[in-house]
C-alpha cells in the first residue's frame, strides 16, 4: 500500500515536470514529435531509475558512514555523467536498433536536471519525499521509476498536443516557446486536480 | 579604447540581446521553480552570479592547458566544486533562503547557462572578458527571474518582497502555485517576442 502511494504520488501528484519543474529544457525542446518524445521518455526512465538507485547506495554506504555528505553534489554529478557514458557505450555495442532510437538523447540526459534532482531528493532531501520513513533501495527504486513514468507520460501527451497544434495558425509572437508554455500551464492545472487523492 | 568598448558590448549582450531567460531559454528549471517570490529569485540570482563569474574566470585561466577531449568533465568538476562552496556558504549564513531554494541550489550544477558559457565563451577568451561575459549573463538571468517573480508575487500573493500591496480578496493565488509559473513566463515571453519582432522589422525598413 505504501509502495502504491509512493508510485502514484510520484507519477501524478508530484509530477516531475509540471509540479517540480525538473527537466524542462528537453521537455520543451524534444516534445515537438511523438516518436522523439517516446524515445526520450524511455531513455530518461532507464537513466533516472538506475542513477537514483546508485545514488542511494553511494549515499547510505559511503557518504553517510564517512560523514562526507557535503560532497554529494560533486559525487552524484560525476557518477551520473560517467553512468550515462557507460550506458551509451553499452547500447552502442549490443543493440544497434536501440542505439539509433535512444542514442542521440543519451548525452542530453547528463544535463537533464531531473536526473540529478531525483538523485538528490531521494538521498539528501529524503524527508521531503518519504517523510519519517527511512527509505530502502526498494522505496527509492519505486519512487524514481514513478517519477520517470510521470516524465514519459507528460512529455508524450505534450508532444501529441503540439503535433495537433502545428495545423493551426498562431500569432507570430506566440509561436514556439510561449504557446508551449501556455499549453503546459493548462496541463499543470489539470494535474493540480490529482493533489487531493494522496 | 577599442578594448573597452568590446568589454562593454560583451557585458551588455547578456543583459538584453542574448538574455538567457527570455531569448536563449537557458536554465529554465530554476526560472520557473524559484520565481514564486522576489526574494527567492534574488537569492538564486546571487548564487548564479557567483558560480558563473568564478567558473568563467577559472575556465578561461586554464583554457590553454585542458585537452579538448576531456574538457566537459573538467568544467563539470569546476562548476560542481563552486556550487558545493555556495551550498555550504548559504546553509551557514542564510539557512532560510537555502531551505526555500531547496534542491534547486544544488541543481545550479546542471544549469545549462553555466556550462554553456564555459564552453561557448570562456574556453576561448581572455580571463577579463570572460568575467564580464559571466557578469552580464548572470545579471541578465537575475533580471529575468526577478521580472517573472515580481508579477507572480504581486498578482498571486499581493506582496513585493513581503510588503502587502494588493488586499487578500483580489489575489490570483494560482499564479504563486506551480502551474502559474508557466502562464506568467509564457505571457512575458510572448511580449518580449513582440518587441523583438517590431525591432527586427524596423531595422529591415531602415
- The answer as to whether B175 is a domain residue is yes
Percentage of the residues of chain B whose pLDDT score is greater than 90: 31
Are B80 and A73 within 8 A, CB to CB?
yes
pLDDT at B174: 81
Average pLDDT, chain A: 84
Residue found by looking up cell 526574494 in the block = B39
Angle at which helices A34-58 and A137-165 cross, to 10° = 160
Domain range summary for chain A, segments of one domain joined by +: 2-10+26-192
- The answer as to whether B2 is a domain residue is no
Digit-coded pLDDT (tens) for A140-154: 999 999 999 998 899
Residue B67 structural domain: 7-205
The pLDDT of B194-200, averaged and rounded, is 86
Lowest mean pLDDT across A126-140, B82-96, B130-144:
A126-140
Residue found by looking up cell 507519477 in the block = A11
- Whether A104 has a pLDDT exceeding 70, the answer reads no
C-alpha separations of A54 from A122, A123, A126, A177 in Å: 11, 11, 15, 35
List CB contacts (< 8 A) between B92 and chain A. none
Higher pLDDT, A146 or B204: A146
- Whether B41 has a pLDDT exceeding 70, the answer reads yes
Categorize the per-residue pLDDT at B2 as very low, low, confident or very high, splitting at 50, 70 and 90. Answer: very low
The pLDDT of B38-50, averaged and rounded, is 92
| Pair A44, A147: CB distance under 8 Å | no
Higher pLDDT, B188 or A175: B188
Of B84, B103, B181, the CB nearest to A70: B84
The pLDDT of A154-167, averaged and rounded, is 88
- Whether A100 has a pLDDT exceeding 70, the answer reads yes
- Whether B117 has a pLDDT exceeding 50, the answer reads yes
List CB contacts (< 8 A) between A177 and chain B. 25, 186, 189
SS3 content of chain A, % helix, strand, coil (to 5): 80, 0, 20
Question: How close, in Å, is residue A192 to chain B by CA atoms?
Answer: 8
pTM summary value:
0.86
- The answer as to whether B148 is a domain residue is yes
Nearest-10 Cα torsion for A42, A45, A50, A55? 140
- Whether A198 has a pLDDT exceeding 80, the answer reads no
Q: Where are the alpha helices (DSSP H) in A59-176?
A: 72-94, 96-102, 105-109, 113-123, 126-130, 137-165
- Whether A109 has a pLDDT exceeding 80, the answer reads no
- The answer as to whether B45 is a domain residue is yes
Count of domains for chain B:
1
Amino acid at each position: 500500500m505504501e509502495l502504491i502511494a509512493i508510485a502514484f504520488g510520484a507519477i501524478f501528484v508530484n509530477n516531475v515536470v509540471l509540479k517540480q519543474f525538473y527537466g524542462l529544457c528537453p521537455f520543451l525542446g524534444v516534445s515537438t514529435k511523438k516518436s522523439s518524445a517516446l524515445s526520450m521518455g524511455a531513455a530518461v526512465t532507464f537513466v533516472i531509475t538506475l542513477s537514483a538507485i546508485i545514488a542511494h547506495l553511494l549515499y547510505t554506504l559511503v557518504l553517510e558512514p564517512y560523514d562526507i555528505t557535503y560532497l554529494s553534489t560533486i559525487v552524484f554529478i560525476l557518477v551520473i555523467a560517467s553512468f550515462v557514458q557507460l550506458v551509451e557505450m553499452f547500447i552502442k555495442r549490443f543493440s544497434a536498433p536501440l542505439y539509433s532510437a535512444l542514442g542521440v538523447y543519451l548525452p542530453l540526459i547528463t544535463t537533464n536536471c531531473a536526473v540529478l534532482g531525483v538523485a538528490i531528493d531521494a538521498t539528501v532531501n529524503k524527508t521531503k519525499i518519504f517523510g519519517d520513513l527511512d527509505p530502502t533501495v526498494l522505496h527509492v527504486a519505486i519512487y524514481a521509476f514513478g517519477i520517470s513514468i510521470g516524465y514519459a507520460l507528460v512529455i508524450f501527451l505534450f508532444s501529441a498536443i503540439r503535433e495537433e497544434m502545428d495545423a493551426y495558425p498562431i500569432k507570430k509572437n506566440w509561436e514556439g516557446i510561449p504557446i508551449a508554455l501556455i499549453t503546459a500551464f493548462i496541463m499543470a492545472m489539470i494535474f493540480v486536480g490529482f493533489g487531493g487523492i494522496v | 579604447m577599442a578594448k573597452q568598448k568590446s568589454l562593454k558590448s560583451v557585458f551588455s549582450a547578456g543583459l538584453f540581446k542574448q538574455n538567457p531567460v527570455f531569448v536563449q531559454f537557458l536554465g529554465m528549471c530554476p526560472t520557473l521553480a524559484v520565481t514564486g517570490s522576489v526574494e527567492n529569485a534574488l537569492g538564486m540570482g546571487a548564487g548564479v552570479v557567483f558560480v558563473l563569474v568564478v567558473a568563467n574566470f577559472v575556465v578561461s585561466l586554464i583554457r590553454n592547458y585542458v585537452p579538448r577531449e576531456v574538457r566537459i568533465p573538467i568544467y563539470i568538476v569546476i562548476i560542481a566544486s563552486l556550487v558545493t562552496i555556495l551550498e555550504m556558504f548559504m546553509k551557514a549564513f542564510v539557512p532560510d533562503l537555502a531551505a526555500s531554494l531547496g534542491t534547486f541550489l544544488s541543481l545550479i550544477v546542471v544549469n545549462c547557462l553555466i556550462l554553456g558559457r564555459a564552453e561557448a565563451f570562456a574556453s576561448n577568451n581572455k580571463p577579463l572578458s570572460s568575467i564580464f561575459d559571466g557578469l552580464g549573463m548572470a545579471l541578465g538571468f537575475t533580471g529575468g527571474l526577478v521580472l517573472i517573480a515580481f508579477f507572480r508575487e504581486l498578482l498571486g500573493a499581493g506582496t513585493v518582497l513581503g510588503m502587502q500591496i494588493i488586499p487578500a480578496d483580489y489575489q490570483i493565488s494560482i499564479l504563486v502555485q506551480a502551474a502559474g509559473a508557466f502562464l506568467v513566463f509564457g505571457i512575458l515571453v510572448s511580449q518580449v517576442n513582440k518587441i523583438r519582432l517590431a525591432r527586427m522589422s524596423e531595422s529591415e525598413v531602415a
